[in-house]
């Protein structure tokens, strides 16, 4: 009998996703095939490339799992000078594969003027490159200033939909505050990305289903998820992934996420390569449609290790660009041209 799946997830509930998150054998193969078909139907075969520049590892927060948390003395702290960030943006544009630069950094308080100036420079000096920013919770007026300066998109993962677990892991903020930031971004008309970690200590498969539902509820333009990888330099260092004995769960999660969010941009995140040598390739065949190679200058990469085993630490931006093209060729998936904005724009306005 042919397997049935919740119809693109719009009205699916936790109980609809749980059997899929527990699928094995032929049912699991059918789930992966269905997720790949939904991805092909809604997003096409071409893969948008977003090049990540980790432009600062300075962070005021102390999230319990994070390798660049403020109190971790291991990384040497850096902030890339604006000239170097613009130079990285030029290099990305010159390579011609990525249509987006993703500026990723720690969360630091302030009025955001320096970042606004940087956004303006990139827009003026590297026209045509879309800009995604990811620097944590900020006041709405700061997000608004950044949007005016040229920010196209913003990534802010909520990490878990379990408010109590969120509070244990994030001393500086609550889940409600994080979700308010996401609503602010959406209200401002910024293409908004949420997402979560798979297998945080203390989560259950029900949490995972609720994470998927929260993504559906917020109807994110982009959704980034990836396995939790314990970092020995953090307070969670000795706590294994909740699915350490069942690594298929990482791919069940991405497949179910695709069924629930057919037209979201879903990247094959770097953390998949930390748990499987070809993890990102597998994710692209099981629901993901976006690839995000690292374009951070080589010497800085060792100081932006959110978790151990992060790939591409010894490479540089040109290596990563060549690698992603070879991987996509092997999968028979062309590189998407242009910025590949949200498949859901224009914004539908405030989430109530
Ligand atoms: S997860 Fe983000 S906000 Fe938290 S410590 Fe790491 S960089 Fe800072």
Whether residue 183 contacts residue 351, with contact meaning beta carbons closer than 8 Å, is answered with yes
Distance CA 22, CA 283 (A): 18
Whether residue 321 contacts residue 97, with contact meaning beta carbons closer than 8 Å, is answered with yes
Cα-to-centroid distance, 65 and ligand 1 (Å): 9
Ligand 1 neighbourhood includes 66 CB (under 6 angstroms): yes
Could you tell me which residues are beta bridge partners of residue 155?
A: 193
Whether residue 56 contacts residue 275, with contact meaning beta carbons closer than 8 Å, is answered with no
DSSP-derived secondary structure letter, 260: H
Q: What is the mean predicted confidence (pLDDT) over 336-349?
A: 77
Could you tell me which residues are beta bridge partners of residue 53?
A: 103
Question: Residue 291: helix, strand or coil by DSSP?
Answer: strand
pTM metric for this prediction: 0.95
Pairing of the two strands 267-268 and 290-291: parallel
Strands, E assignment, 228-349: 267-268, 290-291
Q: Hey, how many other C-beta atoms are within 10 angstroms of the C-beta on 27?
A: 12
Q: What is the mean predicted confidence (pLDDT) over 160-172?
A: 97
Ligand 1 neighbourhood includes 271 CB (under 6 angstroms): no
Is the pLDDT assigned to residue 231 strictly greater than 50?
yes
Q: What is the mean predicted confidence (pLDDT) over 247-271?
A: 96
Which atom of ligand 1 is nearest to 66's Cα? 6
Strands, E assignment, the chain: 50-56, 100-105, 130-134, 153-155, 191-198, 222-227, 267-268, 290-291
The CATH number of 23-331, from 3.30.565.10, 3.20.20.70, 3.40.1030.10, 3.40.50.720, is 3.20.20.70
Q: What is the pLDDT of residue 348?
A: 40
Q: What is the mean predicted confidence (pLDDT) over 42-69?
A: 97
Of 57, 64, 69, 74, the residue with max ligand 1 atoms within 8 A of its CB, to mutate for a pocket test, comes to 69
Whether residue 80 contacts residue 53, with contact meaning beta carbons closer than 8 Å, is answered with yes
Is the pLDDT assigned to residue 226 strictly greater than 70?
yes
Q: What percent of the chain has pLDDT over 90?
A: 87
Of 54, 68, 169, 304, the residue with max ligand 1 atoms within 8 A of its CB, to mutate for a pocket test, comes to 68
Largest distance between two CA atoms of the chain: 60
pLDDT one-digit tens code per residue, 287-323? 999 999 999 999 999 999 998 888 888 888 888 888 8
Which atom of ligand 1 is nearest to 136's Cα? 3
Return the residue whose CA atom lies nearest to atom 2 of ligand 1. Answer: 106
**H or E, element range at 164:** helix 163-169
Mean pLDDT of the chain: 94
Cα-to-centroid distance, 81 and ligand 1 (Å): 21
pLDDT one-digit tens code per residue, 72-121? 999 999 999 999 999 999 999 999 999 999 999 999 988 899 999 999 99
The CA-based angle 106-112-117, given to 5 degrees, is: 110
Ligand 1 neighbourhood includes 136 CB (under 6 angstroms): yes
């Amino acid at each position: 009998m042919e397997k049935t799946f919740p119809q693109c997830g719009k009205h699916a509930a936790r109980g609809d996703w749980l059997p899929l998150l527990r699928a094995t054998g032929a049912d699991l193969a059918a789930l992966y095939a269905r997720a790949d078909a939904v991805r092909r139907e809604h997003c096409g075969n071409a893969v948008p490339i977003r090049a990540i520049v980790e432009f600062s590892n300075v962070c005021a927060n102390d999230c319990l799992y994070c390798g660049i948390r403020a109190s971790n003395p291991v990384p040497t702290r850096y902030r890339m000078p604006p000239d170097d960030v613009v130079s990285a943006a030029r290099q990305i544009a010159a390579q011609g594969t990525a249509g987006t630069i993703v500026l990723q950094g720690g969360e630091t308080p302030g009025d955001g003027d320096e970042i606004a100036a940087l956004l303006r420079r990139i827009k003026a000096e590297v026209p045509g490159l879309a800009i995604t920013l990811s620097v944590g919770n900020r006041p709405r007026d700061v997000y608004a200033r950044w949007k005016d300066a040229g920010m196209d998109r913003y990534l802010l993962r909520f990490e878990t939909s379990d408010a109590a677990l969120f509070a244990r892991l994030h001393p500086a903020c609550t889940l409600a505050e994080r979700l308010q930031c996401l609503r602010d971004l959406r209200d401002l008309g910024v293409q908004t990305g949420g997402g979560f970690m798979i297998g945080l200590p203390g989560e259950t498969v029900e949490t995972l289903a609720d994470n998927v539902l929260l993504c559906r509820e917020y109807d994110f333009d982009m959704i980034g998820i990836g396995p939790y990888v314990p970092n020995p330099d953090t307070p969670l260092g000795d706590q294994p992934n909740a699915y350490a004995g069942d690594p298929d769960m990482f791919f069940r999660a991405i497949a179910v996420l695709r069924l629930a969010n057919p037209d979201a941009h879903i990247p094959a995140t770097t953390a998949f390569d930390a748990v499987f040598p070809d993890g990102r390739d597998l994710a692209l065949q099981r629901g993901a449609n976006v690839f995000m190679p690292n374009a951070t200058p080589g010497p800085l990469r060792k100081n932006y290790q959110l978790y151990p085993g992060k790939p591409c630490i010894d490479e540089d931006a040109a290596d990563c660009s060549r690698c992603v093209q070879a991987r996509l060729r092997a999968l028979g998936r062309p590189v998407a041209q242009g910025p590949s904005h949200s498949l859901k724009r224009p914004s539908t306005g405030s989430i109530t």
